[in-house]
Each structure stands twice: as C-alpha cells, then as structure tokens.
C-alpha cells in the first residue's frame, strides 16, 4: 500500500487541497506537519478512492504564510517514501500581499528531452527547465505554479501515434500518469500549489473544441486528478474554468476548449460567469490566465472569435479592469512581453510564457514590443508587490536561470 503520485493545489491562507493516487484499496488521505521530519503530523479526513484509485482531500486550519510538509496516506498507512511541501498564502483575500508565481506552457511537441510512459512518451517532456522551476520555486517561495496548456501532446481522439481514436477515460488517466512519471515534474506539482489549465493537445486533438470525442472524459478525469479550486460549472463532464484571489489580486483561469463551438470560444455559461466575476469582484488588480492567445489573427486563437473578443473587451472596460490587469498566456512557442502597445483589443500588457519543450515558433515579434524570444526551457514569473497605496505587477521571461526580459505595471489602489 503505497503512494503512486500526488499533487497539491487550491491554496488559501488557511487551507490546501491534495490529490493522492495510491496502489492499495484506500481510503485516501494525507498527513501534514510544520516540519520536514513530520513530528506532530496531523492526519486529514479520508475519502474513498475513485475509479482512478485516487482521492482529493482538503486540510483547513493552517497558519498564513507558513511552510508545511505532507505525505500521502493509503489505508491508514502514511507512505514515508514520497514527500511534498507547500506554502500557504500570506493572508486572507483583500489584505495587501506580495508574492511570486511561475507560469509555463507547451511541452511535448518534438521534445529535446522526451518523457516516458505507457502511451506515446515521445509526445511528453522531461526538460531540465522543470528542475529550474522547482529549484527557484522552493528557494524563492513561489505561491503557485501555473500550467497554461499543452502539458503533454497526446492529441487524444485524433487516432494518431498508434492510439485509438476513442479517447476513453482510461487513455486520459494514462495521460495523467505519464505526466507524473517524470520525477521532477511530479516533485514540482507536489511542492508548489498547482493551477492547471489545458489547451488543445492535452484536452483532445489539435484545434479541438466541444465536439472532441474525448470531451466528457477529459473533463471528468480532470476532476478525478487535479486538486483545483471550486469549478463553477459543477461536477462531471463540465468545463474547468475557475478563479482565485491572492491578496488584492483576482486571478481568472479560463477554459477555452471544452465549450468552444463557433462563434463562441468560452460558451454562454462561462461568459456569463466571467461577467459576474468582473462585476462583483472588489480586487484591485486582475491577472487573467489565458491558454489561447488574445492578440492574434489565427483562426484557432481569439483572432477567429472576433465578436466574442469584442464582447469580453467591452466587459473589461465597463467594469473598470482595462487599466489594472495583465494577461498571461502560452500556445505560441516563445517567451515574449507586450507592454500593451500592440494590444489593439484592450491595451493591457500580455506575457507569453513558453515554451518549456516544443517546436520553436517562427517570427511573430510584431505583437510584442518589449521582447520576443523563441526557444525551449522557457517560462515566466509574475511578481506582485503590494505597497498599500499601489500595487506593482512585474512579469519576467526566463530561459533556465537567465532572465530574457521584464516589464512592470504600477496600479494605484
């Protein structure tokens, strides 16, 4: 009875969620302590394992701004061989807070460091950039690590690479297992609260939408395996959009695939939810986590959904967000920053956080005035410094440990 894999997410200043897959019959839980030796560890409530032999549990009553350590619990036995850690948020939503998060996208298209697994490991990645992010996250106390899509390039439902086109739940479960088969990626996702959004290649096939044959299985298995924040669309085969708040910053995490059907990318329910969030939030700044490029002309990006992009841009303006927001995106295989000068659809800054390990994109630098850096082993950081009277939001793009460029925005509060 041992732990197969585990990850942590849905962080707040006083709680955390954990997903643990085990080899035994369960029930599943975790042990949490404020020291790496697990002295005085507290056991969480347990849950019955799901069809994937995994379960998600939540631990509350944690202290703000505190580092904890954790282990998985299978059938009452705490597995000491697999360790995790996490840092709680510094304070409740609405209180000024300074913090850093890391973001990346795109790993597995012609990777220079192919992965392993049971399906098509040459469409996954073990790039050393994951190790760089893990090292920095622990040393610098990152509060989140965000996957902005194309976590893996299995294209389930396409019938490619010798895989059946059925896109079964079993295939999606194996895809998750193959992500965690990389020891460093597994350690990263159990050591920093993880926010995971998909794009086309990890949701289904290339340029996929709500008609993808694996759509329902993708949504269901995501809920089996990802310790996400509350998903407003509900349980089962429903989209994965959600939001969270750190300090005085609202984060909106969009699902641009599972309800996409022209002429809408987000779908009516997500669009209504988005407007409700923009209207009701009292946050001072907005960071939009967006898997699909916004300021683009290609049909599979927001450039192919012009009317809806105009609607969303109008919402952002009507509710006063355009001058106090950043967008973090991926999909294009480069790291880049636009100050907003080239964003004709809102004028807010955009940072492109890719690629970790995917075929390098061709020229596209006319959309990014600060920097355009195609390459692999690349990611971004977002730093918030809340001084009370203003919030400084700084983004930087990196290749390994080397900063390629940076940009900051000052937002009066």
Number of domains in the chain: 2
Count Cα atoms within 13 angstroms, Cβ side, for 237: 9
Summarize pLDDT for 343-366 with one digit per residue, the tens: 999 999 999 999 999 999 877 778
Specify if 92 maps to a domain: no
Exposed/middle/buried for residue 133 (C-beta within 10 Å: 0-12, 13-18, 19+) = buried
pLDDT band, residue 1 (cuts 50/70/90): low
pLDDT at 26 (0 to 100): 81
Positive or negative, the Cα torsion across 320, 326, 330, 333? positive
**Enclosing domain of residue 62:** 3-87
pLDDT at 202 (0 to 100): 98
- From 33, 66, 87, the end of a domain falls on 87
- From 62, 87, 112, the end of a domain falls on 87
Residues 112 and 83 in one domain: no
Residues 151 and 71 in one domain: no
pLDDT at 346 (0 to 100): 97
Residues 380 and 237 in one domain: yes
pLDDT at 138 (0 to 100): 98
Summarize pLDDT for 33-67 with one digit per residue, the tens: 999 999 999 999 999 988 889 999 999 999 999 99
Which CATH number do you get for residue 319?
3.60.21.70
Summarize pLDDT for 228-257 with one digit per residue, the tens: 999 999 999 999 999 999 999 999 999 999
pLDDT at 361 (0 to 100): 85
User: At which residue do the structure tokens 């992965």 appear?
Assistant: 115
Residues 252 and 228 in one domain: yes
- C-beta neighbour count of 7 within 10 angstroms: 28
- From 34, 61, 87, the end of a domain falls on 87
- Angle value at C-alpha 112, between 124 and 328, nearest 5 degrees: 65
Strands 390-399 and 144-147 come out as unpaired
């Amino acid at each position: 009875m041992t732990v197969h894999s585990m990850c942590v997410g849905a962080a707040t200043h006083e709680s955390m969620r954990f997903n643990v897959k085990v080899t035994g019959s369960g029930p599943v839980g975790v042990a949490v302590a404020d020291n790496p030796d697990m002295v005085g560890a507290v056991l969480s409530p347990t849950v019955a394992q799901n069809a994937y032999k995994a379960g998600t549990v939540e631990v509350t009553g944690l202290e703000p701004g505190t580092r904890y350590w954790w282990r998985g619990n299978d059938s009452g036995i705490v597995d000491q061989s697999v360790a995790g850690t996490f840092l709680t948020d510094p304070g409740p939503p609405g209180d000024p807070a300074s913090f850093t998060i890391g973001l990346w996208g795109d790993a597995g298209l012609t990777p220079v460091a192919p992965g392993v697994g049971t399906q098509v490991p040459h469409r996954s990645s073990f790039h050393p950039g994951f190790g760089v992010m893990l090292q920095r996250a622990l040393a610098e106390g990152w509060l989140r690590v965000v996957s902005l899509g194309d976590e893996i390039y299995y294209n389930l439902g396409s019938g490619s690479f010798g895989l059946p086109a059925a896109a079964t739940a079993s295939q999606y479960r194996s895809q998750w297992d193959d992500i965690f088969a990389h020891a460093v990626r597994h350690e990263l996702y159990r050591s920093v609260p993880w926010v995971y959004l998909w794009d086309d290649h990890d949701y289904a096939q290339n340029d996929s939408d709500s008609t993808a044959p694996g759509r329902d299985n993708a949504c269901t298995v995501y809920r089996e395996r990802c310790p996400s924040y509350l998903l407003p669309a509900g349980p089962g085969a429903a989209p994965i959009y959600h939001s969270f708040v750190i300090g005085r910053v609202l984060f909106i995490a969009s699902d641009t695939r599972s309800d996409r059907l022209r002429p809408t990318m987000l779908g009516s329910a997500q669009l209504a939810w988005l407007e409700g969030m923009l209207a009701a939030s009292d946050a001072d700044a907005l960071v939009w986590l967006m898997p699909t490029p916004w300021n683009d002309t290609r049909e599979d990006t927001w450039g192919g959904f012009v009317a809806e992009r105009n609607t969303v841009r109008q919402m952002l303006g009507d509710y006063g967000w355009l001058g106090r927001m950043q967008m973090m995106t991926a999909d294009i295989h480069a790291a880049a920053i636009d100050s907003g000068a080239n964003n004709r659809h809102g004028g807010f800054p955009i940072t492109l956080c890719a690629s970790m390990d995917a075929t390098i994109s061709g020229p596209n630098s006319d959309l990014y005035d600060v920097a355009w850096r195609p390459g692999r082993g690349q990611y971004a950081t977002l730093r918030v410094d809340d001084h009370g009277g203003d919030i400084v939001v700084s983004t930087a793009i990196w290749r390994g440990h080397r900063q390629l460029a940076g940009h900051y925005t000052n937002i009066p509060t």
